[in-house]
């Protein structure tokens, strides 16, 4: 019981430091580091080793695991949402989830890890299905994922709804027809409705995209 109390207390104290300026996904990394430090220190106490060294080692492992889990969860949620759309809407096609390598550095130890973060995903929904109950439910799932990411990151998430240009349109490049924005937590979802000659005439393409920094510190 004493071990649990010590671990919980240290985790709470460490996680509270600086969390006000972090998005919820990064907070998960900090809490992971706090738990890692606390667990390492307690283990050192029991084995009569140096608690400071054990805390640092535990924090590195905990922080890396926490941040990695946060990013992995984001990617898995994108795959789940789009796979559900593909399975529920006849003719829908999903592109592979794109990720980006982010260099994650621990502020205390300066140890750097490479983490794959969600970048974008696209779904093609047949025009004939867009206004059906299944089509509307599919779009709602994509909207929900975009809102969730925006809220958790506290950042802007871009969602593009692209259709082929109308017959007779001369433009050879993408044209933005209108834009809207929606607040989600401390972030926002920016929706762009476009005419894109790269999109087949029989589908609407929904793309969700975020902008990752190449390097972050936790």
Residue 198 burial (C-beta neighbours within 10 Å; 0-12, 13-18, 19+)? exposed
Residue 165 token pair:
């240009």
Tell me, rounded to whole angstroms, the distance of Cα 29 from its chain centroid.
13
**pLDDT tens-digit series, residues 20-49:** 545 565 555 555 555 555 555 544 554 455
Model pLDDT, residue 23: 54
Question: What is the domain extent for residue 46?
Answer: 2-213
Residue 43: per-residue pLDDT? 44
Does residue 171 lie in a domain region?
yes
Q: Is residue 9 part of a domain?
A: yes
CA dist 138 and 89 (Å) reads 7
**pTM of the model as a whole:** 0.75
Contacts of 113 (CB under 8 A, 6+ apart): 64, 67, 68, 103, 104, 105
Per cent of the chain over pLDDT 70 is 68
DSSP string, 20-34: GGS-HHHHHHHHHHH
Tell me how many domains the chain contains: 1
Mean pLDDT throughout 47-63?
A: 52
In a domain, 218, yes or no: no
């Amino acid at each position: 019981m004493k071990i649990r109390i010590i671990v919980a207390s240290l985790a709470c104290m460490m996680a509270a430091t600086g969390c006000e300026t972090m998005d919820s996904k990064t907070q998960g990394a900090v809490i992971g580091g706090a738990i890692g430090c606390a667990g390492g220190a307690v283990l050192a106490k029991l084995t009569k080793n140096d608690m400071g060294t054990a805390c640092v080692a535990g924090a590195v492992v905990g922080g890396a695991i926490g941040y990695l889990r946060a990013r992995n969860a984001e990617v898995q949620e994108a795959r789940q949402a789009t796979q559900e759309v593909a399975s529920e809407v006849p003719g829908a096609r999903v592109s592979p989830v794109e990720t980006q390598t982010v260099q994650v550095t621990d502020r205390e130890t300066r140890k750097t890890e490479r983490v794959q973060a969600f970048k974008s995903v696209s779904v093609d929904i047949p025009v004939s299905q867009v206004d059906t109950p299944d089509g509307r439910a599919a779009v709602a799932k994509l909207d929900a994922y975009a809102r969730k990411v925006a809220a958790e990151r506290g950042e802007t998430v871009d969602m593009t709804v692209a259709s082929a240009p109308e017959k007779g349109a001369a433009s050879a490049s993408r044209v933005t027809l209108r834009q809207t924005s929606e607040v989600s937590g401390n972030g926002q979802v920016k929706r762009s409705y476009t005419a894109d000659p790269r999109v087949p005439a029989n589908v609407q393409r929904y793309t969700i995209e975020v902008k990752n920094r190449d390097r972050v510190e936790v």
